[in-house]
Each structure stands twice: as structure tokens, then as C-alpha cells.
Amino acid sequence: MDNKMSRANVDVPTNKTVAIRSFSYLKWISIVIALLLSLPVLVIVSNLFNGTEIWLHLVNTVLADYVTNSLILMLSVAVGVLLLGVPAAWLTSACEFPGKQVLSWALLLPLAMPAYIIAYTYTGLFDFAGPVQTFIREATGLGYGEYWFFEIRSIGGAIAMLSLVLYPYVYLMSRAAFLEQSANTLEVSRTLGYSNVKSFFYLALPLARPAIIAGLTLAMMEVLADYGTVQYFSVTTFTTGIMRTFYGFGDLAGAAQLAGILLLFVSVLILTERYSRRKIQYHSSGLRKTSQRLIQLSGWKGAAATMVCLVPILLGFALPAAVLLYWSVFEAAPLTWDFVKLAWNSFSLALYAALIAVFFALILSYAMRLHKSKSVSYAVTSAGMGYALPGTIIAIGVIVPLAWLDHKIIAFVKHTFDVKVGLLLSGTLVALLFAYTVRFMAVSLGAVQSGLGKVKPSMDMAGRSLGLTPMGVLKRIHLPLLKSSILTAILIVFVDVLKELPATLILRPFNFNTLAVRAFELASDERLVDAAPASIMIVLVGLLPVILLSRSISNNH
């Protein structure tokens, strides 16, 4: 009898045993998820050195143009976003001038305007047949070729468009750095006889350098990722080359090799940003911003400060949004059920992608919280790499393995059951959802990890002491506390997916369109007015995370 009881006691799993098993399962599940999300990058890297005839043709003909134009775009936009973002950040953080309270959050509005949409809008305004040049010809009586007007469809036009919508990255980062700087530092500079201008250039700007470089790196990565703007303006870059090689030559290997070169560009940017911050530490005295005496700007100085902040808002959001709204209401064809179907495709696809990304982010973040090992840490880090990569790279990295797997499945089913099946993965929404999850996993990871970081470890220990397993702690304690963070992550990923263009163009199934693709197709056919309803819908939905971001900044400062 005692032996039976002893065996029974050994066989019954305790709470601790169940917890350890859940703990181990979660660790391995997180590593598998991370490996799956890293697959597109591994595919691109594996194809980097596979020579093909198409690749040799590209090297001998157009590769130099791709490299040159991409570098010109990157460096020029870098200058543009610095000139637009840094002065506005300093003025709204260190100065007091008319309209500051509104302008400080309104400067974020261009984040809601995708670069390819603003490109269509300004082309409709400033192209030869647009209202501006038409007015000039009617007012002066001059004909075509008899007057000079800048060419909007050029690399200069692309630089202007990208600068107007990407400067908020630098503005956000640098403004946060200026707001956190010690009040004593700037006060001491004044006692040493430094003017406000000298204090900015010799103290505030160097102290904010890491944040400025971080924002600049994000902007330049967005430049490399852009496809719609450069394609519409006929500027040959890596993204247009990848699409041309994929669609024009039908060569996946050549497209993957171009994507590999573009991946090297992105890697250099990331490493340069990290190298710039090596062994550099900037400390704050911890004083609140309210203890610092703001620089009072009035008269012409106040008016100039207002204009410096107002111009990017007008050009980067207000003017193009007003034009799109006017075209949508007064000139575009009336909306039909086709547009409703288009919107439903976009919204449902974005929602599914957001839910999948946040679900995986929750697993990865919780595994990292429970298991503080290098393997899990590396897994979570690698899972978030996709956000630094252009949609074209991820799309090529997704379609190569899925197409290979599809052909294996087709051959197996044909051999085993003598049944013909079509593409199950690479030709369906599965490929799109996979690419979106890889592309925007870092966004959802950031939001979920931030929320989990606010939950004290004592909450976990209290739940475990009550007999809850790790998954029980997640369900009963963490999820209720993470509602706000999870909803934020879902919203941001939803909007990012809604705006994504190159990955959708490559991976979408036949006869499946989204708002972004429809706007691109209509604009490519020079039907700019008809592209306005889809474009304004994307912009209006894109305002939601911008509003959340501006509210968060206002609450923190």
C-alpha cells in the first residue's frame, strides 16, 4: 500500500513541474517563431553570391545607376530632413513663440502621408497639365518650352517628396533629446556669455547628436525602402531594379541578389548608427523641463519661428491632404461597390496581419521575460530585424521558400493521390500575411515589451504563489494589464500594413487589390484624380497612430 502511494505521489505532476514544462515549451516556441521570421533574410543572404546571366547583365548595365541614385537620394534626403526636423525640434522644445502649442504636435502630421501619395498629389498640381502651370501659361500667354518651370518628375522631386514626409523621424528623436537635456547645462552656458545661437550649436546640438543620428538612420532606411515615389518619378534605384528584374526578367535569383546588395546598404546604415554611439554616454541632471527658462521669441523672431514650423506642416500634410480631399469630393468618379470591396480587402488584411504580429510579439516578449537566456534574447532580436528591411527584400525572401515548398507539396500530392492542386502558399494571402508579420514584427514587439516592462516582477511571483502556471499568469494577470499596449500595437501595425506597397505588389494573389495598390495603379495610368479616394482613405486612417503619438508626447512632457 505504501509503495502504491509512493508511486502515485511520484507520478502526480506538481504545479512546479507544470510550470517548468510550460516554461521550456515557451522558450522553444519563441525560438521556432524567430527562426521562421528570419527565413526571408537567410534566403536573401544565401542567394547573394550565386552568379547568373541576368546578374552579370545587371552589373554591366544598370547596377552603377542603382547605386548612384540610391546614394544621392539617401544623402540629399538626409540633408533635407535635418534642415526641416532639427530647427523645428529646437524651437518647440526650448523657445516660446506664437502657435507653439499647436505646431509642436502638428509637425507630426506628415507621418500619416505616404511618400508615394504626396508624390501623386504634387505631380497633379505642378505637372505641365496641372493648375499651376496652366495658370502661368494663361496669365503670361507663353507656350510650352517658352518658360522655365522645375520638373517635378525627377530625382530632385523625389528628394523633396521624401524629405517632406520623413522629417518627423528626426523631429521626434531630436525634440525628445532637447526636452530631456539638463536645464543647468544651458543656464551655465548663458552665464559664460554664450548667446542662444551659440548654446544651440555648441551644447544642445552635440548633446542631442545620438538621437538625431538615430532619427536620421530611420529616415534613410525609409528612403531605401521606398518604391512608389521613385517608380512614379522614373528614378532608377534598387527597389525599382528589384521589381523590374522580378517582373521583367522573371528572374528570382537576380532579384534576390539585388535585394542582397540593398540589404548590405541597410546593414551599413545600422552599423554606422551604432558605431556613432560607441562609448558615448550622455547624462541628464534629471531636472524637469519646467525648471528651464524658455527663450521668448516675439516680433519678427516669433513670426520667423512660427513660419519655420508651419512650412513643413503646410507642404508635407495640409496642402496635399486638401488637394486629395477636393479631388475626392468634387472631381473623382462617384464611389461604387468596387471601392467598398477594395477597402474591405485592405482593412481585413491589415487587421489579420496586425493580430498575427501582436500574437507572436506577445509570445516572444513573454518568453524573454520568463527566460533571461542569450538564446531567447537573440531570438527576439532577430525576429524584429524585418522592420529595418524594405518590403521588396522581404517579399523576395518570402516568395522563394514558399514557391519551393508549394512545388514540393504539388509534386507530393500528385504522386501520392494523383490529384492536381494549385499554389497553396506563394499564390495566396498566406504569403502576404507572412511578409507583413516579418516586416512589422519590431513595431508590435516594441509596444508589447514596453507594456510588459511596466508590470512589476512581484505580480508574476504573486500569481505563481497562488498556483498559476506561467501561461496562467499571462492570461489572468498580464493580458488585462496589457490591453492598452496591445491595442496600440494592433493599431500601428494595422496602419503600416495599409500603407505598405512594394511587398503587396509582389505577393498579392491575382485579382486581389488593396487601397495602396489601387492608388498606385491609377496614378501610374495618369488618373490622379481617380486615385484620390483611395489615397485620402489611407491618409485619414494613418492619422490615428499620429494622434496617439502626439497625445503620448503631450502627456510625457
Q: What single DSSP character describes residue 147?
A: S
Return the exposure string of 351-370: e unless at least 16 CB atoms fall within 10 Å of the residue's CB, then b.
ebbbbbbbebbbbbbbbbbb
Number of domains, the chain? 2
Return the exposure string of 473-504: e unless at least 16 CB atoms fall within 10 Å of the residue's CB, then b.
bbeebbeeebeebbebbbbbbbbbbbbbbbbb
Own/partner pairs for 197-202, CB < 8 Å, 24+ apart? 200/90, 200/94
User: In terms of domains, do 322 and 336 share one?
Assistant: no
Strand, coil or helix: what is 422?
coil
User: In terms of domains, do 218 and 352 share one?
Assistant: no
User: In terms of domains, do 463 and 359 share one?
Assistant: yes
Determine what percent of the chain is predicted with pLDDT higher than 70. 87
402-443: pLDDT as tens digits: 988 988 898 888 888 878 887 788 878 999 999 999 999 888
Decide if 466 is inside a domain.
yes
* Domain end among 286, 309, 328: 328
Decide if 183 is inside a domain.
yes
User: In terms of domains, do 237 and 371 share one?
Assistant: no
Decide if 138 is inside a domain.
yes
User: In terms of domains, do 282 and 365 share one?
Assistant: no
Distances (CA, A) of 205 to 82, 88, 196: 12, 13, 12
347-393: pLDDT as tens digits: 999 999 999 999 999 988 888 888 777 788 888 888 877 777 788 88
Q: Which three cell numbers stand for residue 529?
A: 484624380
E strand intervals along 189-272:
none
Decide if 135 is inside a domain.
yes
Residue-by-residue DSSP string for 173-193: HHHHHHHHS-HHHHHHHHHTT
User: In terms of domains, do 465 and 408 share one?
Assistant: yes
CA separation for the pair 483, 481 (Å, rounded): 6
CA separation for the pair 515, 280 (Å, rounded): 44
CA separation for the pair 489, 504 (Å, rounded): 21
User: In terms of domains, do 173 and 289 share one?
Assistant: yes
170-212: pLDDT as tens digits: 998 888 888 776 555 666 666 666 666 777 777 777 777 888 8
* Nearest by Cα to 155 from 76, 245, 265, 58: 76
User: In terms of domains, do 375 and 279 share one?
Assistant: no
User: In terms of domains, do 318 and 384 share one?
Assistant: no
CA separation for the pair 208, 82 (Å, rounded): 13
> What single letter denotes the amino acid at residue 512?
F
Type and span of the H or E element at 486: helix 483-499
- What is the reported pTM? 0.84
Task: Calculate the average pLDDT of the chain.
Answer: 83
274-330: pLDDT as tens digits: 776 664 544 444 444 444 577 788 889 889 999 999 999 999 999 999 999 999 999
Q: Which three cell numbers stand for residue 35?
A: 527562426
Decide if 471 is inside a domain.
yes
* Nearest by Cα to 173 from 212, 206, 210: 212
Decide if 418 is inside a domain.
yes
User: In terms of domains, do 42 and 117 share one?
Assistant: no
Longest dimension (CA), the chain: 111
Category of 99 on φ-ψ map: left (φ > 0), alpha (ψ -120 to 50) or beta = left
Q: Which three cell numbers stand for residue 32?
A: 521556432
* Nearest by Cα to 331 from 56, 527, 475: 527
Which range, 155-164, 213-222, 392-401, is most confident?
155-164
Q: What single DSSP character describes residue 98?
A: T
**Rounded CA Rg of the chain:** 27
Q: Which three cell numbers stand for residue 475?
A: 492570461
Decide if 130 is inside a domain.
yes
Question: 213 with 170: CB under 8 angstroms?
Answer: no
Decide if 105 is inside a domain.
yes
User: In terms of domains, do 28 and 174 share one?
Assistant: no
Query: Which residue range forms the structural domain that includes residue 180?
Result: 64-249+270-328
* Nearest by Cα to 44 from 248, 261, 224: 261
CA separation for the pair 48, 8 (Å, rounded): 59
User: In terms of domains, do 208 and 306 share one?
Assistant: yes
CA separation for the pair 171, 550 (Å, rounded): 12
Q: What single DSSP character describes residue 207?
A: H
Domain harbouring 180, CATH code: 1.10.3720.10
Question: pLDDT at position 73, please?
Answer: 94
* Domain end among 312, 328, 344: 328
- In this structure, what are the phi and psi dihedrals at residue 95, rounded to the nearest 5 degrees? -125, 165
CA separation for the pair 376, 94 (Å, rounded): 42
